[in-house]
A and B are shown apart, each in its own frame.
Chain A
Amino acid sequence: MRAREAYWIAVGEVLDPEVPVLSVVDLGIVRDIREEADSVVVDVTPTYSGCPAMQVIESDIIAALRNAGASNVRVNTVFQPVWTTDWISEEARARLRSYGIAPPSGAAAVVTELIPLRRRVETIACPRCGSSNTEQRSEFGSTACKAIMFCNECREPFEYFKPI
């Protein structure tokens, strides 16, 4: 049991290489850590199907667990339940904001119609000046998980960790 806690702490220090203020535990992608025979098995669920950071994350998790005393580590990919940004904690959202990325709206589970002909207005506050006078430039940004926004108040672009 104590070893298991140490493993969680070690994995909690593995950062997302693309958003290095969030750990993989903050993101919610580490689903389980357990001991099986002579190995430590970590269940990880991917964020996006094609996220290129997943391979780096896997090898970082293996290295962190080896440092924490595990000799054999196996990363097991699980697909269900499917990852959602709703799993990102309030505390981690605050860290995202101070890093300059607007956190996800927390409404990923809300199902809207497939093709909204009238754009729904979702207010995303600027992480710099806090203004709600912002607009979306593109739902696709520098990484799969982010959209490009623009603040009409401070006239700066910013990134938005989009809900999914």
Chain B
Amino acid sequence: MQQPATGVTSLSEYLVRLGDDRLILGHRLSEWCGHGPILEEDIALANISLDLIGQANLLLELAGKAEGRGRNADALAYFREGVEFRNALMMELPRGDFGFTTARQFLVSVFEALHLERLQSSKEPELAGIAAKAYKETRYHVRHSAGWMLKLGDGSAESHQRVQNAIDDLWRFTGELFESDELERDLVKQGIAVDRASLRAAWKAEVAQVLQAATITMPDDGFMQRGGREGKHTEHLGHLLAEMQIVARSFPGAEW
């Protein structure tokens, strides 16, 4: 890897944030495998999960290299404690019903499509390449989740209510997606990171368009939950990690 001019540690921290969002959401989606409402959907959710975990693998591998302490993607995924994870809180919430999963995928995929489109021009060349690949994959994720938002929102009274509830419950977790701190602002100045806050207006416009067509009411921006980027998580993350990490921790160094 080409060494960036400055800030090796802040680069690895940033890459861990990007990687953890995908790892944790990908794991949540993988919980649907074998439980999807119909076969095609089971397959679709597993495929999207695979894309996200694949992206996480590439990003965490790069984070390990930037960190320079010999940790690879597996070490970062399986041997960190909850407080060391840097994902946004929205990613770790339990999968809920299919309406909740759909609503979360929709809100996150639209954000990621806009985010990755810009991250393709990062001055960190490997990150730019990973972003360019992930951007193309994410466009399919957006189409998939937006299609279901329309079907469920503008569907039966039951499906409408479930998606409306999900959007209402998720809204207070959306603020964190657009949050940045000193570390990220510094990387933005260097042309490595994307200024998350600058994506908010475009995100809201895309989301509003679909919610309106789906007859779903967009909630008001009120109090926003935060803390994931600093390792302050909900109680749900620990349970997820216990399941995700148990095999690697029970048999460290095992190969198969």
Set B43, B110, B132, B146: member contacting A141, Cβ < 8 A: B43
- Asked if B57 and A114 sit within 8 Å, CB to CB, the answer is no
Q: B29-67 CB contact bits vs A (8 Å, 1 = yes)?
A: 000000000001101100110111111011000000000
B106-145 interface bits toward A, Cβ cutoff 8 Å, 1 = contact, 0 = none: 0000100110000000000110111011101101101110
Q: How far is the CB of B142 from chain A (nearest CB, A)?
A: 6
Task: Please tell me which one of the listed residues A78, A115, A142 contacts residue B143 in the complex, with CB atoms under 8 A apart.
Answer: A115
Binary flags per residue of A150-164, CB closer than 8 Å to B gives 1, else 0: 000000000000101
Q: Are B125 and A80 in contact (CB under 8 A)?
A: yes
Across-interface contacts of B143 in A (CB, < 8 A): 115-116, 139
Q: Return chain B residues, CB-CB under 8 Å to A50.
A: 50-55, 57
Q: Which residues of A contact B47 (CB under 8 A)?
A: 140-141, 144
Q: Kindly state whether residue B213 has any CB partner on chain A within 8 Å.
A: yes
Please tell me if A117 contacts chain B, counting CB pairs below 8 Å: yes
- CB nearest neighbor in B for A117: B213
Closest beta carbon of chain B to A55's beta carbon, Å? 11
**What number of residue pairs across chains A and B have CB atoms under 8 A from each other?**
89
Range class of the B interface residue count: 35 or more
Contact A49 B113 (CB under 8 A): no
Interface residues of B in 159-192 (CB under 8 A from A): none
Could you tell me the dominant secondary structure of chain B's interface residues? helix
Interface residues of A in 27-83 (CB under 8 A from B): 46, 48-52, 78-80, 82-83
Minimal Cβ-Cβ distance residue in B for A115: B146
Q: Does B6 contact A (CB under 8 A)?
A: no
Bound-state Cα–Cα, A117 to B52, Å: 24
Q: Which residues of A contact B (CB under 8 A)?
A: 46, 48-52, 78-80, 82-84, 108, 114-117, 137-142, 144, 148, 162, 164
The 8 closest A-B pairs by CB, nearest first: A50-B54, A79-B129, A49-B54, A140-B44, A50-B50, A140-B47, A138-B40, A82-B132
- Seen from chain B, the residues whose Cβ lies within 8 Å of a Cβ on chain A are 40-41, 43-44, 47-48, 50-55, 57-58, 110, 113-114, 125-126, 128-130, 132-134, 136-137, 139-140, 142-144, 146, 150, 206, 209-210, 213
25 pairs across A/B with beta carbons < 8 Å? A48-B50, A48-B137, A49-B51, A49-B55, A49-B58, A49-B137, A50-B50, A79-B130, A79-B133, A80-B132, A82-B129, A108-B136, A114-B113, A114-B139, A114-B206, A115-B142, A137-B40, A138-B44, A140-B43, A140-B47, A140-B144, A141-B43, A141-B47, A144-B51, A164-B136
